[in-house]
Every structure is written in structure tokens, then in C-alpha cells.
Amino acid sequence: MLLFIKNLIFTVLVPGSVGIWLPLWIAAGNGATLAMPASPVQGAALIPVILGFSIYLWCVWDFGIRGRGTPAPIDAPKVLVVQGLYRYVRNPMYVGVGLMTAGWWLYFRSSALLMYGAVVVTFFQLFVLFYEEPHLKRVFGEPYERYCSQVRRWIPGPPFSEPPPAA
């Protein structure tokens, strides 16, 4: 139960802020309001928002159930998570939040949200390259390096195939 609460708090504070609260705040600052879609294009723009949020939730589930941790670096999974969406792409949570920001940009057609999304994606890239991947290599060693050699960082590809367990 505690793990569920920690995941919920982190989700509301971090991805919730980056993928929902800040984009809506930026849009409101430009005079836009979140309302029923005014056109089919605007309605379709909600698809990446919903898809991105669903991806994020799936990954949080895997972190909690399989990894026994949270997405927060201070309470990271204790076990390397290479199942679920992580079989196809190394950073599906970031991809999900990136999809959310892209959806908001399309929904509001806002250059401010386009710039915001570019900053978010750039931050994700730098965080992954300079903190997350080196940290995971130190913590999980060769299994993580094997995983990285088979699974792409941002674009989904063929699934990761774990070696059979030692007899």
C-alpha cells in the first residue's frame, strides 16, 4: 500500500506537473481554456495525451509490481525492469510524457507549448545521458548493458530477449 501511495504522489507531482498541469497553465497564460474539442482535429489531439498518460501508468505499474520501486530517483526500482513496454523501448515513461506535451501543443496550437515540449524533451535526453544511464550501469552492471545493446533508447523496436536462466 505504501508503494502505491508513493507512486501516486510522485505521479501527481512530477509527470502530472510536466505532462498536464504546466501545459494547461501555459495555455491559460495565452488565453486558451480546456473545453470540449471545437473540431475533429482538436479532438484527435487528445489521443496522444491519453495514450501518453496510459503509457506512463503502465510503466508505473511495472515499476511497482516488477521493480518494487517508483519512478522517483530516490526510490527507484530494486530490480531491473525489462518487461512490459520496457521490452521495446528503454524510456517509455519519458516517451509517454513527451506524447502528452505534443498532444497539448496540437490541441491548443500554441507556439509556447511547442517550445515547452522541446525543452522537456531536451531535458529528458540530457537527464538520461548524463545521469540515468550511467547510474543504471553502476547499479545493474552487465544485465543493463546487455539490455541497452538490444533495446533502443527512444524509438520502439524489436522486443528484448532475456537470456534463459542459468541451470
The CA distances from residue 104 to 37, 112, 114, 141, in Å, are 12, 11, 9, 38
Summarised one tens digit per residue, pLDDT across range 7-66 is 788 888 888 899 999 999 999 998 887 787 778 989 999 999 999 999 999 999 999 899
Higher pLDDT: 79 or 35? It is 79
What kind of architecture, by CATH, is found in domain 2-150?
Up-down Bundle (1.20)
pLDDT for res 167: 44
Q: Which residue has the cell 521493480?
A: 67
pLDDT of 164 higher than 70: no
Grid cell digits, residue 78: 530494486
**Radius of gyration, alpha carbons of the chain:** 17
| Mean pLDDT calculated for residue range 158-163 | 86
Summarised one tens digit per residue, pLDDT across range 94-142 is 999 999 999 999 999 999 999 999 999 999 999 999 999 999 999 999 9
Other beta carbons within 10 angstroms of residue 152's beta carbon come to: 13
CA distance 154 to 97: 12
Angle at 90 (CA atoms; ends 108, 49), nearest 5 degrees: 20
